[in-house]
Structure 1
Amino acid sequence: MSRLSDSSITIYEALQNIEEGKYVMPAFQRQFVWGMEQIEKLWDSILLDYPIATFLFWNVDQSNVTGDTYFCNFLSSVTFDSRKQADTANYELTGINVEDTDTAVLDGQQRLTSLFLSLFGEANLRPKNARRNTGDRILTKLLIELNKNKIAVDEEEYNSKKFDIKFSDKIGKLSPTQFELKNILDDNFRDETTRESAIEEAIVNVPADSKDYARDILNKLYNKIFTEKLIRYTEIKDMKQDDALEMFVRFNSGGKALRKSEITMSILEAYWPSAKTEFGKILVNSYDKFDTDFIIRAALMLYGDVVKSNINKKIAENLKNDWEGFKTALFNVEELLKEMKIDVSRFANSWNVLLPIVYYVYYNSDYKKNLKAVRSYLLRAIFFTYFQSGTTGKLQQMKSNINSFDYEISIEMLDQMNDLRITDGKIEDILNMEKGSRVAGEVMYYLNLDWTNKNFKYEQDHLHPDNRFNEAKPVSVSIDNWKTWRGNRNRLPNLHLLEGRSNGSKSDMRLIDYYNDMNDDQKKDFHNQAMIANDVSLEIDDFDVFYETRKTVLAEKIQMLLK
């Protein structure tokens, strides 16, 4: 069980620990993203006596890290772009010697990096029209104005700086009353016997009415860095990397919240630096709208623990070493779906449903022999919203069942799974789906797959128009029946797919009028495509018979699809 302890050190002690390699960052930390203004405001807050939040440290030693656990050193140099935002920096990945390094920063990277760059590092500005890879940059310095007469503070502006602290690239034109923050590290400031004279020398050009102001700033700056223990931290001991990852995701507090998948990708890159580049070669053409989450989850499905969802060295190396086999599996899944007249791109936002098929195809070289069972799984999972909740558990369930059936997906296997077994209740739930629902759209798509043209756009359309149920009821229909009909008008038995232009021309026409405008061939196609029996009345007065008859037809066709 992890142990927690709270402590505090000075800014200088923390930065010394970074300089000496005692502090590092886990490989799953994200890039440095702060801009110039955020660094300036951090120092402004420090001089205003504001707390700079608690840091979260992870004690690392031989018991909780191994040789395949990677870390990153803190940045000692950063380049800001023309918008004064930090360019994406590639941290250098490294193993650690726990004799020298004992602390990994879980929360506080942005603040500690900013302080380290301000006092121990270097900041540069990339010229406006210079490209990132040209190396063109201008050195900048972090300065504070000591002449209070030059400071213009807008008291009305919310969150404005109260001290004139800013980066400047005009190194040759520095004001004689500006002080570079990192100069406070000079020995003559740190030596108590020479500090007063060093301060007087630093403010020699400051006007008389600002001398006291300037002395106060420099004394305060010294105290904030060397004396006051502003780095308050909680240290976690006896914690493994997987738990550290989980804690990092939960407690990360700076800027944009991180998804666990983003951290997982960072871990993978620590073991395989070119992973994202290789992923990009897959995420094109039919897979172009998928994302790296899909590939990572597929890798966990094939090589690891899909429930735990953590990438380790073994999984990363399996993926890297078997990259061609992995890519082939995805290509084969794409081709398998094509044989079913289904485009894999359809699952760009619902790719969990594909992962059991990826697993099956990867581990079974004779995967094409069970094409109907694979299709049955796919449609049952979609129609029954199998992955609506408990996704990783469901994926593990599929993985275990496929293993139990000798790496097969079979109808027998599906019928043994409560969530995927076909029941009258599930069919009834599907038929009660309403216009606009995802399941209704999916059911209509697959019911009509044989005749729809993928180059056309189809819309869900009412057969008996919706507005007719807002009018007066037919004389022959009771009030109770009319209420029931109104409740059923948006449900699947009164819906069909119609090509967009045809839907526009049909508009709110009565179904019988729409039908009577057709020629004989069009009427034949309409009955087949809309799945309406030839002898059923299309008059609104007979809606109950129409609805129940079509409901029976749809139930039979859905059963056939799922079996």
Structure 2
Amino acid sequence: MAFQTALTITEVVNDIHRKKYLLPSIQREFVWDTEQIERLFDSLLTGYPVGAFLFWHVNKENISKFKFYEFLRNYHERDNIHNTEANVSGEEDINAILDGQQRLTSLYIGLKGTYAYRLPRRWVENDSAYPTRHLYLNLLTPSDEIDMTYDFRFLTNKEALKRDDNSYWFKVGDILNFSEQYEINDYIYRNELNLVQQEKARYANKTLFELYKAIHVTPCINYYLERSQSLDKVLNIFIRVNSGGTQLSYSDLLLSIATAQWKQKDARKTITSFVDEINEIGDYFDFDKDLVLKTCLVLCDFNDIAFKVDNFDSVTMNIIEDKWDEIAQAIRLSVQLVASYGFNYKSLTANYVIIPIAYYLYKNGNPHNFVESYKYIQDRKNIQKFTIAAILKRIFGGQPDNVLKPIREIIKNNLTNFPYVLLKENLKVTNKTLKFTEEEVENLLWTKYGNRYAFSVLSLLYPNLDYKNNFHQDHIFPKSLLKSRAKLKREGISQKTIDYAVENYDYVGNLQLIEGIPNLEKSNKKFDEWLNIICISDQEKATYREKHFIPDINLSLDNFEDFMVEREKTIREKLLKILIN
């Protein structure tokens, strides 16, 4: 492995654009965020070293033995996160990147590509939540961040047009259009940057020159070139050089090894597309490759289920490939099942809870219509109890392998029905158990609206809801009234009740699950008034009270404290019956 003559960024970016550099299947996907890219460009302009790179020269006669992927060019957090497989048929020798993919992709995106990430508080499925952004550089003032010299930012074109005395945004990629240094002065004059305050005009000129020099002139891409054609050697080199930087997860490496070892399927394409598929089930989830690969190890009954390279040898990979369709269907059914319980990416706080469910379904042959058929109703109820208990008890925190293995053994020996009761009684791993104490049940009453575990607590109270409908967590006594001391005072509520309401309106005792449309209709109406609107007869009111654990007392606003005390008493009894008795 020899150190080579350094290259300029222009040379490398243009060669990436011409697909002269590719990524081997052992590379992870792009994971850098916009801040990391901005810091990389700041380092370049400041003159800081950006680290050495490692390229792998692959002879044309060996290209067909491996899989290669193109660089990601336009990153989109939802729609474009996966690299496209490269067409290498008929190619000459190629150079693949063993170390430096994140930095090189970042350079390409900053100069020729785009980056689209979701705006805060916007829905995943909303296309406008992902505006396309380019990398820009402020030519008038430096960064106001302590550890940044230059003000780089990813902006939309509209944002970049907003200019004032302290900002003029230059699209960084436009520097590639400059072939001679004198064009910098032309740009400065053409855009009247010479007419701003003298100090800022000087800064703009200097900054643009530094950018030109960093991209076109300075040979800052220092790299080693590995010419070995041995995959084993290349893998060992890859593992060693990727021990730093953004952490390379075992799943990325193991998936890459699988890609090289699977015979009939492309493991990388198969598993990454499968992850996308299951994440789109129901109201969206947030599963990853780690979950899928871990599930493969568990379902195939391998004794060691840890993420270790030794556990993913050719024998293991062949078994997983042979059983992939059945494994995928078991995972798919499990996700559909938890989605039918009303869980989504927000409320399913422990993704590994899917694995025991998938194991049970896999060992039972992935029963047809398991999610809908009346035949499996008791199984579904037991799995729902297990799911909620496992989430609330946080049994998959820490070292989940220590929990997955004993759970697998209990399920393996009890396949007639899902053995929730046996799991509750027999699962004892250090401090991990599915059993609840009375104190733990009491603590559930202190769960607040919006808490990640609120849905799990409420779903225990509503086991028979059809969650295919959209259910909202609703404040029974409206939040808009109870959180406002001024509004409560205008309603003539006593100071004691006001103090209690402001402190307690968000707890489970004041929450219910109701369908989205009724919740919108309910809006901020006082509860006693709303109940009289939707329930005409006394029987309808009695049915509603029973379904939602509403005490048979005065439901006016000034009786909120009594309502909470009585309803929490009923909820406590219900939870004790479910979780302990």
Shorter-chain TM range is: 0.5 to 0.7
- Give the alignment of 1:538-553 within 5 angstroms: 538-553=555-570
**Distance change >3 Å, CA 243–CA 49, structure 1 → 2:** closer
Deviation per residue, 1:244-269 (Å, 9 max, x gap): 548626325xxxx9766555443432
Residue in structure 2 matched with residue 357 of structure 1 by the alignment: 357
Deviation per residue, 1:439-466 (Å, 9 max, x gap): 2233224422424563344342233655
Identity of aligned residues (%): 19
| Structure having greater relative contact order (Cα 8 Å, sep ≥ 6) | 1
Which of the residues 391, 395, 398 maps onto 1:382? 391
**Distance change >3 Å, CA 466–CA 561, structure 1 → 2:** farther
| Contact map agreement 1:28 1:266 (CA 8 A) in 2 | yes
Find out whether 1:537 has 2:554 as its counterpart: yes
- Secondary structure of 1:497's partner? strand
Alpha-carbon shift at residue 492 of structure 1 (Å): 0.7
| Contact map agreement 1:376 1:411 (CA 8 A) in 2 | no
**Distance change >3 Å, CA 72–CA 319, structure 1 → 2:** closer
Find out whether 1:491 has 2:507 as its counterpart: yes
Count, aligned residues = 421
- Secondary structure of 2:256's partner? helix
TM-score by length of 2: 0.55
Aligned counterparts of 2:183 and 2:560: Cα–Cα separation in 1: 84
Residue in structure 2 matched with residue 268 of structure 1 by the alignment: 258
Alpha-carbon shift at residue 108 of structure 1 (Å): 6.7
Letter paired with 2:476: H
Alpha-carbon shift at residue 527 of structure 1 (Å): 0.7
Deviation per residue, 1:316-354 (Å, 9 max, x gap): 32221112321342355367669xx53687788853221
Letter paired with 1:438: R
Aligned counterparts of 2:312 and 2:342: Cα–Cα separation in 1: 33
Residue in structure 2 matched with residue 460 of structure 1 by the alignment: 474
Residue in structure 2 matched with residue 321 of structure 1 by the alignment: 322
Find out whether 1:450 has 2:464 as its counterpart: yes
- Give the alignment of 1:241-320 within 5 angstroms: 245=239, 248=242, 250-251=244-245, 261-272=251-262, 274-279=266-271, 280=273, 283=277, 286=281, 289=284, 293=289, 294-303=291-300, 306-308=305-307, 312-314=312-314, 315-320=316-321
Letter paired with 1:329: A
Alpha-carbon shift at residue 57 of structure 1 (Å): 5.8
Task: Note the aligned Cα RMSD (angstroms).
Answer: 5.7
| Contact map agreement 2:445 2:509 (CA 8 A) in 1 | yes
Alpha-carbon shift at residue 547 of structure 1 (Å): 1.9
Aligned counterparts of 2:206 and 2:249: Cα–Cα separation in 1: 30
Deviation per residue, 1:478-513 (Å, 9 max, x gap): 84x763454222211122223344334434444333
Alpha-carbon shift at residue 398 of structure 1 (Å): 2.5
Alpha-carbon shift at residue 474 of structure 1 (Å): 9.8
Alpha-carbon shift at residue 425 of structure 1 (Å): 1.9
**Distance change >3 Å, CA 152–CA 269, structure 1 → 2:** farther
Aligned counterparts of 2:541 and 2:46: Cα–Cα separation in 1: 81
Which of the residues 495, 518, 525 maps onto 2:543? 525
Residue in structure 2 matched with residue 208 of structure 1 by the alignment: none
- Secondary structure of 2:514's partner? strand
**Distance change >3 Å, CA 473–CA 550, structure 1 → 2:** farther
Letter paired with 2:261: Y
Residue in structure 1 matched with residue 156 of structure 2 by the alignment: none
**Distance change >3 Å, CA 486–CA 306, structure 1 → 2:** farther
| Contact map agreement 1:512 1:538 (CA 8 A) in 2 | yes
**Distance change >3 Å, CA 240–CA 406, structure 1 → 2:** farther
**Distance change >3 Å, CA 25–CA 150, structure 1 → 2:** closer
Aligned counterparts of 1:322 and 1:344: Cα–Cα separation in 2: 28
Letter paired with 1:322: K
Letter paired with 2:267: A
Find out whether 1:558 has 2:568 as its counterpart: no
| Contact map agreement 2:26 2:256 (CA 8 A) in 1 | yes
| Contact map agreement 1:289 1:348 (CA 8 A) in 2 | no
Residue in structure 2 matched with residue 511 of structure 1 by the alignment: 527
**Distance change >3 Å, CA 472–CA 379, structure 1 → 2:** same
| Contact map agreement 2:28 2:253 (CA 8 A) in 1 | yes
Deviation per residue, 1:365-385 (Å, 9 max, x gap): 699686554332111023334
Letter paired with 2:406: S
Residue in structure 1 matched with residue 129 of structure 2 by the alignment: none
Residue in structure 1 matched with residue 77 of structure 2 by the alignment: none
**Distance change >3 Å, CA 508–CA 234, structure 1 → 2:** same
| Contact map agreement 1:462 1:495 (CA 8 A) in 2 | yes
Alpha-carbon shift at residue 528 of structure 1 (Å): 1.9
Aligned counterparts of 1:309 and 1:395: Cα–Cα separation in 2: 13
- Secondary structure of 1:460's partner? strand
**Distance change >3 Å, CA 531–CA 29, structure 1 → 2:** same
* Structure 1: gaps of 5 or more residues: 16-22, 35-41, 60-69, 82-86, 94-102, 115-141, 168-180, 182-220
Residue in structure 1 matched with residue 127 of structure 2 by the alignment: none
TM-score by length of 1: 0.56
**Distance change >3 Å, CA 106–CA 334, structure 1 → 2:** closer
Aligned counterparts of 1:384 and 1:107: Cα–Cα separation in 2: 41
**Distance change >3 Å, CA 316–CA 58, structure 1 → 2:** farther
**Distance change >3 Å, CA 239–CA 301, structure 1 → 2:** farther
- Secondary structure of 2:362's partner? helix
Find out whether 1:440 has 2:454 as its counterpart: yes
Letter paired with 2:548: A
Aligned counterparts of 1:324 and 1:234: Cα–Cα separation in 2: 39
Aligned counterparts of 1:325 and 1:309: Cα–Cα separation in 2: 23
Aligned counterparts of 2:72 and 2:482: Cα–Cα separation in 1: 66
Aligned counterparts of 2:478 and 2:69: Cα–Cα separation in 1: 67
| Contact map agreement 2:69 2:83 (CA 8 A) in 1 | no
| Contact map agreement 2:24 2:98 (CA 8 A) in 1 | yes
- Secondary structure of 1:450's partner? coil
Letter paired with 1:491: Y
Aligned counterparts of 1:404 and 1:476: Cα–Cα separation in 2: 55
- Secondary structure of 1:438's partner? coil
Deviation per residue, 1:278-307 (Å, 9 max, x gap): 343682674794555243342243346554
Which of the residues 399, 405, 423 maps onto 2:405? 399
Letter paired with 2:245: F
Aligned counterparts of 1:399 and 1:504: Cα–Cα separation in 2: 45
